Amino acid sequence: MKKVLAASVLFCLLFCKQNVQESYSTQIIGDWESISNKIDEEIPNEFFNTKGYSFLPDGTCEVKGGIINHASNRWQFLNPETKYTLTRDKLRIFDPGYNKWASYHIKELSDTTLVLDNITFVKKNFNLDKSPDFDAVIVASSGCFGYCPVNEIMIDKNGGVSYHGHVNNLSNGSFVSTVSRQRYKKIMLAFKKADYLHLQPDYSDSVTDHSVISISFIKDGRIIKSISDYAQSSPQDFIWAYNYLTYLSPQLTLTPMAAAKEYFNASLYTAFESKEALLRLTGAESFFLLNELKKSKEVFDNFHELYTLSHYYGADKISTDGRYYRLQFSDKTVKTLDLGYNFLTQKFVNQFKKKNE
């Protein structure tokens, strides 16, 4: 009788452990965000400020805060996608930055809450229908009091990449590259999870010496949304989405920009200026205009020159009416480019401000 009872208890224990294992394997699937704000002290706040994970059923996960390459002497981010294993109450995540597994004790796991060691996470739920698909996204980052990367990157739905690094990047200069359509869809999904279309146009905090990140979304050749974020003050899902692009360049195969386009030197900010009014573009909007000008054709038409661009793309002076752009160079040569549409009427016509405002 005692043997039968012991066998029954052992069977029950094994069965219960199996049920817990199966339950954990199901419940951990999804996106999780830390609510305890336990920051890795080795990594500056400028890079990320909240931990998060996205676990998939196939044993892969995404580390939302980013994976640092600790073998590099710079703050270089690796591909945030890695692998994980789940055994009873132990979660193991492979860290390519250290080339080893990190282990966490699961203190609690339910459909809504995950506690790893002393860090509490909540499961995220998204309505992906609230923000539409977009054809391209541009992210531009400014400098800070430190070693923040200063760059711009534009990625379109066909996988085309335009990149310019200014300072604090592994690659500085103008380059082109490609990403797979699958990667582009993941990038777009991250911004849709953040419900980008309904975010505020500006986010800021009462701190100094942080970077400004500007983001623009393109649909049917036009800017449908622009957002500026100072000191990572926007919602966390949005920060994770744009940080991925800010630090993407080391993962790309970069090809220097064609020599024929070298007179298009990237400028962080552009302003349209008349005698009385001024329109300042964000870094992302400026980089979009730059890429549109690269695609424009040279013409010999005359036009009414209404504005000058206060930051010149390699030319001594650029005058424009919004559609045509007359570039004057130091050697007295002139090029007139036709954008094919008026850049200002699409979004900016009502955003000019008087110079004395």
Q: Is residue 97 part of a domain?
A: yes
Domain assignment present for 94: yes
In this predicted structure, the answer to whether residue 4 has a pLDDT above a threshold of 70 is: no
41-50, 57-66, 92-101, 149-158: range with lowest mean pLDDT? 41-50
Q: Are residues 229 and 277 in the same domain?
A: no
- 199-221 mean pLDDT: 94
User: Is the domain of 156 the same as that of 268?
Assistant: no
How many angstroms separate the CA atoms of 251 and 14, rounded? 45
89: left (phi over 0), alpha (psi -120 to 50) or beta: alpha
Q: Is the pLDDT of residue 329 over 90?
A: no
The reported pLDDT for the residue numbered 312 is 55
Which segment, 14-28, 104-118, 304-318, is predicted with the most confidence on average?
104-118
pLDDT tens-place string over residues 227-276: 999 999 999 999 999 999 999 999 999 999 876 455 555 566 789 999 99
| One domain, residues 75 and 164 | no
Q: Is the pTM of this model over 0.85?
A: yes
Residues 247 and 302 in one domain: no
Instruction: Please indicate whether residue 51 or residue 251 has the higher confidence score (pLDDT).
Output: 251
What is the structure's pLDDT at 230?
95
User: Same domain, yes or no, for 56 and 153?
Assistant: no
Which residue, of 124, 152, 179, is where some domain finishes? 124
Average model confidence (pLDDT) for the chain?
A: 86
Q: Which of 64, 96, 124 is the last residue of a domain?
A: 124
Q: Are residues 163 and 62 located together in one domain of the fold? A: no
41 versus 175: the higher-pLDDT residue is 175
Q: Is 130 within a domain?
A: no
Q: In terms of domains, do 216 and 239 share one?
A: yes
Total tally of structural domains belonging to the chain: 3
- CA dist., res. 137 & res. 213, Å (int): 13
- Does residue 336 share a domain with residue 245? no
Question: The tokens of 30 are what?
Answer: 């999804």
Are residues 156 and 247 located together in one domain of the fold? yes
Measured between alpha carbons, how far is 219 from 198 in angstroms, rounded to an integer?
15
Q: Are residues 24 and 120 in the same domain?
A: yes
Kindly state the percentage of the chain with pLDDT values over 90: 64
User: Which CATH number belongs to the domain containing residue 145 in this structure?
Assistant: 3.30.1560
* 202 against 44, higher pLDDT: 202
251 and 214 within one domain: yes
Interval 173-201 mean pLDDT: 96
Measured distance CA(117)–CA(107) in Å, rounded? 6
The answer to whether position 8 is within a domain reads no
The answer to whether residue 49 sits within a structural domain is yes
Same domain flag for 111 and 31: yes
Domain boundary among 256, 286, 305: 256
Domain span at 295: 264-354
Asked if the structure places residue 131 within a domain, the reply is no
Nearest to 279 by CA among 352, 354, 356: 352
Do 286 and 334 form a contact (C-beta atoms < 8 A)?
no
Q: What CATH code is carried by the domain that includes residue 83?
A: 2.40.128.370
Q: Which pLDDT band, with edges at 50, 70 and 90, does 112 fall under?
A: very high
* Residues facing residue 299 across a β-bridge: 336
Residue 11 lies in a domain: no
Quick: pLDDT tens for 211-234: 999 999 999 999 999 999 999 999
Q: Flag whether 149 is in a domain.
A: yes
